[in-house]
Amino acid sequence: MEQKMNMPLLGDPFPEMKVATTHGPMDLPLDMTGSWFVLFSHPADFTPVCTTEFVAFQKRFDQFKELGCKLIGMSVDQVFSHIKWVQWIKEELEVDIQFPIVAANDSIALKLGMLHPGKGTNTVRAVFIVDPEGIVRLIMYYPQEVGRNMDEVVRAVRALQISDRQGAVPAGWPDNELIGNRIIVPPASNVADAERRLKEYECFDWWFCHKPLE
């Protein structure tokens, strides 16, 4: 019987799942309540691209911590494989992986849309950014042959947190070609508000106004 993939969409609650990890059992997203978290999957332990990704995530561990965001890795390898791989990374590359790695089964991987039949039996490179209420806020998928840019993941977490408080962030933020690191003012909801925008903010037009980052 064909297995159905039913991945969460933006704005959906992150699927509830009890998982085994290198840090012991976890109940997601319950154990992350009150904290942002990034769950990222990788195709397999002891593979070159995945190793470079884990080192890169760990190198930015403190940046995520400053944002109040936790990291969780995941693949369909078993926990003992994760443990041995983490040990190898520490011994050979002198990088201590501090975040847990989930040993997912096919059911968990299918819940998150991480098994793409056209790309083989391993999990693809998925990234889920989840907010403190357990809501999925951003999803990225990469094929097995392309490693991720971890600075973009850090930027995305920062941008989501800022947009929740201040307004939308532009392309390439904080280095946008038009407005730099400024924030886009939320859209006007009526004619009076649209006219008032031109007096209160810097604007290209009433529908495109921006303000300094607070």
pLDDT at residue 44 above 70? yes
Structural domain includes residue 11: no
209 tagged catalytic: no
d(CA 214, CA 211): 9
- Quick one: 23 and 69 in the same domain? yes
- Quick one: 125 and 181 in the same domain? no
- Quick one: 171 and 200 in the same domain? yes
pLDDT value, residue 4: 52
The answer to whether residues 99 and 39 touch, using CB atoms and an 8 Å cutoff, is no
- Quick one: 140 and 173 in the same domain? no
Query: What are the backbone angles phi and psi of residue 88, rounded to the nearest 5°?
Result: -60, -45
Active site residue: 50, 69, 203, 209, which one?
A: 50
The answer to whether residues 123 and 115 touch, using CB atoms and an 8 Å cutoff, is yes
- Quick one: 116 and 24 in the same domain? yes
pLDDT at residue 20 above 50? yes
Lowest mean pLDDT among 17-31, 34-48, 105-119: 105-119
Average pLDDT over residues 32-37: 97
What CATH number has the domain bearing residue 179?
3.30.1020.10
Average pLDDT, the chain: 91
Structural domain includes residue 159: no
pLDDT at residue 3 above 90? no
Structural domain includes residue 153: no
- Quick one: 67 and 138 in the same domain? yes
> How much of the chain, in percent, has pLDDT values that exceed 90?
76
Structural domain includes residue 3: no
Structural domain includes residue 195: yes
Last residue of a domain, one of 148, 177, 205: 148
**Tens-place pLDDT, residues 75-100:** 888 999 999 999 999 999 999 999 99
- Quick one: 45 and 134 in the same domain? yes
pLDDT at residue 5 above 60? no
- Quick one: 171 and 139 in the same domain? no
Dihedral Cα 209, 136, 33, 27, nearest 10 deg: -170
Domain, as residue range, for 201: 166-214
Long-range residue pairs from 5-8, CB within 8 A, at least 24 positions apart, any chain: 5/110, 5/113, 5/115, 6/110, 6/111, 6/113, 7/111, 7/112, 7/113, 7/139, 8/111, 8/112, 8/113, 8/128, 8/136, 8/139
**Tens-place pLDDT, residues 103-140:** 987 777 777 777 655 555 566 788 999 999 999 999 99
Average pLDDT over residues 154-164: 97
- Quick one: 77 and 33 in the same domain? yes
The DSSP annotation for 151-189 comes to HHHHHHHHHHHHHHHT-B--TTTTSBTTTBT-EEPPPP-
What CATH number has the domain bearing residue 54?
3.40.30.10
pLDDT value, residue 1: 37
Distances (CA, A) of 187 to 71, 130, 197, 204, 207: 33, 25, 10, 13, 6
Structural domain includes residue 155: no
- Quick one: 25 and 111 in the same domain? yes
Structural domain includes residue 173: yes
- Quick one: 61 and 89 in the same domain? yes
pLDDT value, residue 45: 93
- Quick one: 109 and 205 in the same domain? no
Give the total number of structural domains in the chain. Answer: 2
